[in-house]
Amino acid sequence: MFYLTMRLGAKLHPRLCDALAAAVLILLGFYVRDVWDNIVLAKWLPFSNLIVLGNGFPLAMAVLAGLAWNRVPPPTIRRVAIVALLFGASAYAVYFPFRGQVPECGDTWEDGVCRQSTHDTCSAAAAATLLRMHQIEATEQEMAKLSITRKGTSWLGLYRGMKLKTAGTDWDVEVFSLNADQIQQGQVFPAIVFMRLTTQVADHNPEYEAGGWIVGTSHSSVLMEMNSIGICLMGDPSVGRELLKFEDFKQLYEGRGIRLVRSQK
Whether omega before 58 lies within 30 degrees of 0, making that bond cis, reads: no
- The pTM of this model reads 0.89
Residue 182's domain is classified under what CATH number?
A: 3.90.70.10
Any domain includes 103: no
Q: Which of 45, 72, 98 represents a domain boundary (last residue)?
A: 98
In this predicted structure, which of 68-77, 126-135, 137-146 has the lowest mean pLDDT? 68-77
Q: How far apart are CA 95 and CA 91, in angstroms?
A: 6
The answer to whether residues 230 and 154 touch, using CB atoms and an 8 Å cutoff, is no
Any domain includes 160: yes
Judge if 92 and 127 occupy the same domain: no
Judge if 132 and 236 occupy the same domain: yes
The SS3 call for residue 100 is coil
The SS3 call for residue 242 is strand
Q: Which domain holds residue 72?
A: 2-98
Judge if 112 and 92 occupy the same domain: no
Judge if 59 and 116 occupy the same domain: no
Residue 26 amino acid letter: I
Question: pLDDT tens across 225-257, in order?
Answer: 999 888 999 999 999 999 999 999 999 999 999
Closest C-alpha among 85, 26, 40, 32 to residue 57: 32
Give me the mean pLDDT over the 127-141 stretch. 98
4 pLDDT band (50/70/90 cuts)? Answer: confident
In this predicted structure, which of 11-15, 78-82, 153-157, 194-198 has the lowest mean pLDDT? 11-15
Question: pLDDT tens across 45-61, in order?
Answer: 999 999 999 999 999 99
| CB neighbour list of residue 23: distance below 8 Å, 6 or more residues apart | none
